Structure 1
Amino acid sequence: MKINKYNSFVFALLVGLGLSAQAQTKQWTLEEAVRYALDHNITIKLSELDVKNADIDKKDAFGNYLPSVNGNASHSWNIGLNQDVTTGLLRNQTTQYSSLGVSAGVDIYKGLQNQNAYRRAKLSVVASKYQLLKMQEDISLNVANAFLEILAFKENVKVRKEQLLIDEKRLARSEEMVKAGTIPRGDLFDLKATVATDQQAIVVAENNLLISKLSLAQLLQLKEFADFDVIDDTDAKDENNIMAQSPVDIYNKAKETRTELKLAQANLEIAEKNVAIAKGAYQPTLSAFYNFNTRASYSDVIGGSTPNIANPTSQIGFVEGTNQAVLQNNFLPVLRNADPVFDQFNDNKGHSFGFQLSVPIFNGFSVRNNVERNKVSLEKSKIDLEQKSLDLQRNVYTAFTDAKGALNTYESSTVTLEARQQSYNYAKEKYDVGLMNSFDFTQAQTLLTNAQSDVIRAKYDYMFKIKILEFYFGIPIVPIPTK
């Protein structure tokens, strides 16, 4: 009874571990891989941040239309030699002052620089979105390439393992035939070398598969690249009948849809706005301003006067001719505490406002040089747009030629494989009845394996070339969401 319980527990544990291992292995389709990369790829996330920066720059440009308002406040202590308000003399004392102020300014006319800067900022947002879209398209193609590479290497591993299984069976059969004296021992050595070569080929194929998984995992930002796998949901068929289109039709369609042309056009318009902004510096600027300020002191102030009893009068001169002294009454100031701070702020208010006109006359050719510099950038943008158009035309024709060549290669390699399979079957029949030696049979088998590998390589190369051609025709692997 105890043994049965133990066996049941072990069985349940093994089943649980098996289900856990299956649950951890994610089987990815091509569309799932592309969608996941569009959401998680680091390069795409950086491009999305560039779009946010462009939006912030647009807000900055709009802010140039608005007035600037700034407030200021200060409180100071003057310690040491200061003027005494009662005597007018300098003496060591400590005084305190507070001041408040508000200033505002607004551009009325600035050579249309603010307007052009805002238009440029909006174009920069568009350009950054095109750049993001181009990055998403590039990542989609890279994911497709890496995905198809994994499928190709998986097929190659499968072929190599099947080849090893066949050779191991041949080796076991040959060992029995050597013991029976039917075939020479030398044939056995050849087969052992063949099996070892097969095992080495499997190691190389599995390493290539692991590296291809790593490449796709990096595009998807996955950490556990060894524990995921892909599903072959692809088909080596031209489902969208893209090969029926002519290169001219594909190129004309690409001119309407390709992101690199739209991005180059947006950069050209940005360069035009930069020239307009630079030219705006030739014109005068007119701005308006307003300032408000007030202050308060914490020192005693003179609140009145009283006669100087100790020295009631003092001579200030004499009458010409009689030399009679001219006297004045002497008074002493009467100090009192400073008024309340808020009363002083109210009594000491001051306002100033007006307009400011600035006319550029000579600035060391800086404005002119800046205009010329932006004109050069404009010409470069025009050339870049033209070059992008030429590159697109060349890429479309190259992609069409590559796809056509890949299709021909795939078809011819398929025919070759069929012929190699028939040749191998014939060689096997001869080998089984002793009419062919082991070396010649191994050669036929190697040719078959190479033909199988050529078909696998040609198949997935053709599929990727079709994906590229579809991209130029405006057919993405998956619809790219706009954010």
Structure 2
Amino acid sequence: MKNLFLCIAVFGCFAFAKAQTPQVWTLQECIQYALENNISVKLSELDIDAAEVEKLSAVGNFIPSLNANSSISENTGLSFNPVTNNAQTTTFLSVSGRINVGYTLFDGLRNVKQLQRAKMSQLASRYRLDKMKDDISLFVANNYLEILNNKANLKSLTAQNLVTKEQIDRTQQLVDGGQLPRGDLLEIQATNASEQQQIILAQNAVTISKISLAQLLLIKDYENFDIVDSEFEVIDEEIAEKPVNDIIGAAEATRSEVRIAEQDVELAKKDLQIAKAANYPTISAFFSYDTRYTDATSFSQIVDPDDPVRIEQIGVVQETGQAVISEIPNTTAVITGADPFFDQLYQNDGISYGLQLNIPILNGFSTRSNIERNKINVDRAEFQLEQARLDLESNVYQAYVDVQGSKRAFEAAQTSLESQELAYEYARERYDVGLINAFDFSQSKLRYDNSVISLNQAKYDYIFRLKVLELYFGIDPSELKL
């Protein structure tokens, strides 16, 4: 039993440790997850669904309308019988039903143009979704690189602090042996305290940057979220070596900004066509079928079988004054019940059909105002398209210049680090033999540490600028690599 409890405890600890293992993400996994779960992307996908509904509505304009209605009522008092149309004082139930069919034969081709517009709107929504995905991919890549940069800084600071701690131990020995003044030890200890503070700040920066990326991905388990720790020393600079005009041409052919503006122009032109179609007459056809039923009783005249005729005077001869008599049926008024339900539906049904012509003549200048308004929208969309092309060209040029500038900054940071590293090594050698004091050595080490941080910042800034240029060149966001 004791062994059983021990096994259960070991297994439980193993399961707990496994559950607490942070989930490590690559850049591609982060981008893919963001594209599938980001709220802004989901909203853009809903715009596509709305455009699909708009298209369905436009298709429905080509289908005849079919409507059916019925009513049932009970009348008490003096009412008109819906079948005999006679006024009578009674209580009766009445039922009526109707089916209407309508179809627009001609409306200035508005139905055709609305369907075309719906298809354009759907395409524009897809372009907006593509742009949203590009933006989200850049946000994810920027946050991802910021984590890498902060981790690299933390690693450098931690490594340098280990050197400082070694210097403290060595300096302590030299001070105890009377070879160095105690001020050198205090200077190294102050440097250690400053480095410990920088390490804490770097740790916080790593944590905050990881939380920012997790929030962008809508991941709530911040503590178990982490990214792959890798060194990216080799940078793919192929895209930066291409001529800027080639990148601009690829951007104009693939980027969603220009495509969206082009679709907005087409949508504005189609809206203008729809507005102009309101000037044309509308021809529509209709057909309706209706019937009715009532349970109301009625009076009918029945011939008396025992005395079928009677003699009555029906007039007088004007010249002689002689009475004119005739035999007429001898009828008696009797109450007749309602015919059966289905018999009445058959007896009382009727149909109507025809064509309807509607000619617009004067409607308060609303059609003309709508046309002029849409003309303005066309001009505005064309200006926006021209501006979108200019902005795209400007953004590509800016991205290209940023890449070149960040490349030079990265190369300068590399050169500076090499120089500072040599200077630091030289200062340490001189400090070890007592040729310089602790303050000068700390200043040299500080310059070296700052150069390491500057190189990390320059490297990851250069990588991010390259990613921006790759997107402008038409590389799919899911294919971005580091």
| TM-score normalised by length of structure 2 | 0.90
- The aligned residue for residue 118 of structure 1 is 115
CA deviations 1:73-98 (Å, max 9, x no partner) are 1101112333589996664x322110
Paired amino acid for 2:35 = L
Distance 1:433 1:15 in 2: 52
Q: 2:259 aligns with which of 257, 262, 265?
A: 262
Give structure 2 stretches of 5+ with no counterpart.
none
Q: CA RMSD in A?
A: 3.0
- Give the drift of 1:5: 10
Cα separation, 2, equivalents of 1:207 and 1:252? 43
Q: Quick one: structure 1 residues 186 and 361, their matched pair in 2 at CA, closer, same or farther if it must change by over 3 Å?
A: same
* Counterparts of 1:372 and 1:97, CA distance in 2: 53
Q: Deviations over 1:287-311 (max 9, x none)?
A: 000010000111112343457x9xx
Report 1:74-223 matches (<5 A).
74-82=71-79, 91=89, 93-223=90-220
Counterpart for residue 416 of structure 1: 416
Mark the CA change 1:11 to 1:187 in structure 2 (over 3 Å): closer, same or farther: farther
Matched, 1:391 2:409: no
**CA gap 1:380/1:238 in 2 versus in 1, 3 angstroms:** farther
One-letter amino acid matched to 1:34: I
Any conservation in 2 of the 1:55–1:125 contact (CA below 8 Å)?
A: yes
For residues 233-382 of structure 1, the aligned pairs below 5 Å read 235=232, 237-239=234-236, 241-305=238-302, 332-382=332-382
Cα distance change, pair 346–86 in 1 and its aligned pair in 2 (3 A)? closer
Give 1:187 shift.
Answer: 3.1
CA distance in 2, matches of 1:89, 1:165: 110
CA contact (8 A) 2:237 2:466 kept: no
Q: Measured at CA, do residues 313 and 42 of structure 1 come closer, stay the same or move farther in structure 2, by a change above 3 Å?
A: farther
- Determine if the alignment matches structure 1 residue 458 to structure 2 residue 458: yes
316 and 249 in structure 1: CA distance in 2 versus 1, 3 angstrom threshold: same
In structure 2, how many angstroms separate the alpha carbons of the residues matched to 1:115 and 1:267?
Answer: 19
Q: Is 1:402 matched up with 2:402?
A: yes
Return the alpha-carbon distance in structure 2 between the equivalents of residues 83 and 241 of structure 1.
91
Cα distance in 2 between the residues matched to 1:191 and 1:175: 10
CA contact (8 A) 2:300 2:335 kept: yes
Which residue identity lines up with residue 415 of structure 1 in the other structure? T
SS of 2:420's partner is helix
Instruction: Provide Cα deviations, 1:134-155, integer angstroms capped at 9, x if missing partner.
Output: 1111111111111111110110
Question: Does residue 55 in structure 1 map to residue 52 in structure 2?
Answer: yes
| Partner AA of 2:365 in structure 1 | F
Alpha-carbon distance in 2 for matches of 1:148, 1:86: 87
Deviations 1:241-282 (A, max 9, x none): 112211112111211111111111111111110000000001
Q: 2:231 & 2:48 partners in 1: Cα distance? A: 34
Other-structure match for 1:440: 440
> Identity percentage over the alignment?
41
Measure how far apart 1:159 and its partner are: 1.4
Q: Deviations over 1:173-211 (max 9, x none)?
A: 334444444333333333333222222212221221112
Deviation per CA, 1:12-64: give whole Å up to 9, x if none: 7665554444xx32221111221222222221122112111111111110110
- Secondary structure, counterpart of 2:368 in structure 1: helix
Cross-structure match for 1:425: 425
4+ residue runs over 4 A deviation: 4-20, 83-90, 312-332
| Paired letter, 1:302 | F
Task: Tell me what 2:37 maps to.
Answer: 40
Query: Which one-letter code corresponds to 2:299 in the other structure?
Result: I
Residue identity in the other structure for 1:372: E
In structure 2, distance between residues paired with 1:63 and 1:479: 41
Shifted more, 218-227 versus 450-459: the winner is: 218-227
Contact map agreement 1:214 1:225 (CA 8 A) in 2: yes
Q: Is contact 1:237–1:463 with CA below 8 Å preserved after alignment?
A: no
* Residues 157, 96 of structure 1: alpha-carbon distance in 2 compared, 3 angstrom cutoff: same
Q: Across the two proteins, how many residue pairs are aligned to each other?
A: 472
One-letter identity of the residue aligned with 1:376: I
Asked if the contact 1:293–1:351 (Cα under 8 Å) also holds between the matched residues in 2, the reply is yes
Check whether the contact 1:296–1:341 (CA below 8 A) recurs between aligned residues.
yes
For 2:231 and 2:111, locate their aligned partners in 1 and report how far apart those are by CA, in whole Å. Answer: 53
Kept in 2, the 8 Å contact 1:236–1:463? The answer is: no
Q: Which moved more, 1:298-307 or 1:283-292?
A: 298-307
More divergent stretch after superposition (229-238 vs 341-350) = 229-238
**Per-residue deviation, 1:127:** 0.6
The corresponding residue for 2:478 is 478
Partner Cα separation in structure 2 for residue 295 and residue 172 of structure 1: 109
Deviation at 1:350?
0.5
Contact in 1 for aligned 2:413/2:451 (Cα 8 Å) = yes
Could you tell me which residue of structure 2 aligns to residue 66 of structure 1? 63
Partner SS for 2:478 = coil
Call closer, same or farther: CA 1:323–1:430 in 2, change over 3 Å: farther
Query: Does the CA contact (< 8 Å) of 1:100 and 1:295 recur in 2?
Result: yes
